[in-house]
Chain A
Amino acid sequence: NAGVTQTPKFQVLKTGQSMTLQCAQDMNHEYMSWYRQDPGMGLRLIHYSVGAGITDQGEVPNGYNVSRSTTEDFPLRLLSAAPSQTSVYFCASSRLVGTENYGYTFGSGTRLTVV
């Protein structure tokens, strides 16, 4: 089982460039989310989705867009990269049974550097 697959693993962008971080899961999980990890700050929620066609903002959404056209895929788009977006990005998915949280499965992360 692949679980949650993130691509690419590493990326260097120039300021102002745009790119899409890919995330795919094969567990038929309804819930998917994107987090960024910065030193000393833990993981912070960027955007999340509770199913195909439904997305919402998390704690730090500015500068990022998401869409959820299928259950499997949840890409994260950086519209115009800024050095402040240098971070490690994690995609995660989980089952959604009412409001009970069964825990997340995380992807292996994307290390993004914006110069």
Chain B
Amino acid sequence: AQKVTQAQTEISVVEKEDVTLDCVYETRDTTYYLFWYKQPPSGELVFLIRRNSFDEQNEISGRYSWNFQKSTSSFNFTITASQVVDSAVYFCALSVEEYGNKLVFGAGTILRVKS
């Protein structure tokens, strides 16, 4: 079975701090895809990144970076110099080749950035 664990229920930081959101996944498949989505207070789900299991390169996009480590089954998300607008719920999700296009989501991490 596939499972995604986001152990951090809620994180509070002060603006300009760096923050890392953890994501640990479980699957026996060798081909799978990992995602991060952001859900701001307005409620919509915003796609942030997609990574397949064969690409372990870390990725940086502006203040966002992702660290994918197959050895520890983790796909962590770091926000550098956090801003109040980063306050949101962040979801990590997994889909596996055998499971088709179905996404399995973690429970989400609430990030609060205070000014």
Q: How far is the CB of B98 from chain A (nearest CB, A)?
A: 8
Residue from B45, B52, B102, B106 in contact with A90 in the complex, judged by beta carbons closer than 8 Å: B45
A106 vs B101: C-alpha distance in the bound complex, in angstroms? Answer: 14
CB of A74 closer than 8 Å to a CB of B: no
Number of chain A residues close to chain B: CB under 8 A? 28
A112 vs B44: C-alpha distance in the bound complex, in angstroms? Answer: 15
Chain B residues with CB below 8 A from A108, complex form = 43-44
Q: Assuming A50-B101, A101-B33, A104-B103, what are 16 further A-B pairs, CB within 8 angstroms?
A: A33-B101, A33-B102, A33-B103, A43-B91, A43-B93, A92-B45, A94-B101, A101-B50, A101-B100, A101-B101, A101-B103, A103-B35, A106-B44, A108-B44, A109-B44, A111-B43
Jot down 6 A-B pairs with beta carbons below 8 A, ordered by A. A31-B100, A40-B9, A42-B91, A42-B108, A45-B103, A106-B44
